[in-house]
Amino acid sequence: MTIVGDAFEVRTASGNMLKGTIRLDPSKQPSQMDMIHADGARWEAIYIIEGETFRMNYVEAGGKDARPATFTTNDTTEATVIVLRRESK
């Protein structure tokens, strides 16, 4: 994942490139983020940054699940947790 300004790019494990814009709301607890993809899809997420680690839990907007409230998943939700570590330069 690369974020520059309000633009993001995500290369998935399968090699797909997702692009779009993000909107952050760090005033919420946990902090919230919307990822608006170039194809019109929108993910509703929560996120936390701890040192070099970025964690988010997201669902596709308009699906059966509301925006996640915790960094957990179970077999009855479509939420996805992603944990990334900043690449050393």
User: How many beta carbons lie within 10 A of that of residue 7, not counting itself?
Assistant: 12
pLDDT of residue 13: 87
Closest C-alpha to 68, from 37, 20, 34: 34
pLDDT of residue 88: 78
pLDDT tens track for 19-57: 999 999 999 999 999 999 999 999 999 999 999 999 999
Share above pLDDT 70 across residues of the chain, in percent, rounded to a whole number: 100
pTM of the model: 0.87
What is the DSSP secondary structure assignment for residue 41, as one 8-state letter?
-
Whether cis (ω within 30° of 0) applies to the bond prior to 30 is: yes
State the Cα–Cα distance between residues 5 and 22, nearest whole angstrom.
9
